[in-house]
Amino acid sequence: MSDCLFCKMAAGEVDVPRVAENAAAFAIRDINPRAPVHALIIPRRHIGWARDLGMEDGATLGAMFELATEAADIEGVAESGYRLAFNVGEAAGMTISHLHLHLVGGRPLGPEG
Ligand SMILES: [Zn+2]
């Protein structure tokens, strides 16, 4: 996993401002935001993509969703609403092969925005 950008961020080898973090995950702002608010919730442990998830990942996923709620509060979209999404595969725009949950908001999103 030495060439995985998110693993390097998790290990502190790549320094990036964090919106929030907890024991299992950290949140950063997307460098190419698709909306006024666009954060990524990233597990510290390398998980390839959503298709690799199983029952054993329940605690990690719970921690990611707790962090998403905290990040939504910090980013100011808790009241207006926001979207949480996993992109799976190339057609969905998945560009980094380390699981990450997108938190998008700050504008009307529409059904698929
Ligand atoms: Zn990784």
Name the residue ranges covered by the structural domains of the chain: 1-30+63-105
CA-to-CA distance for 97 and 75, rounded, in angstroms?
A: 25
Check: CATH 3.20.20.30 for 1-30+63-105? no
Q: Which residue type occupies 92?
A: A
Q: How far is the CA of 14 from the centre of ligand 1 (A)?
A: 12
- Residues assigned a catalytic role: 100
Once rounded to an integer, what is the mean pLDDT over residues 10-28? 96
Band of residue 24 on the pLDDT scale cut at 50, 70, 90: very high
CA-to-CA distance for 86 and 95, rounded, in angstroms?
A: 12
CA-to-CA distance for 78 and 95, rounded, in angstroms?
A: 27
pTM: 0.94
- Structure token digits, residue 44: 């510290």
Q: How far is the CA of 69 from the centre of ligand 1 (A)?
A: 23
Tell me what the pLDDT averaged over the chain comes to: 95
Q: How far is the CA of 80 from the centre of ligand 1 (A)?
A: 32
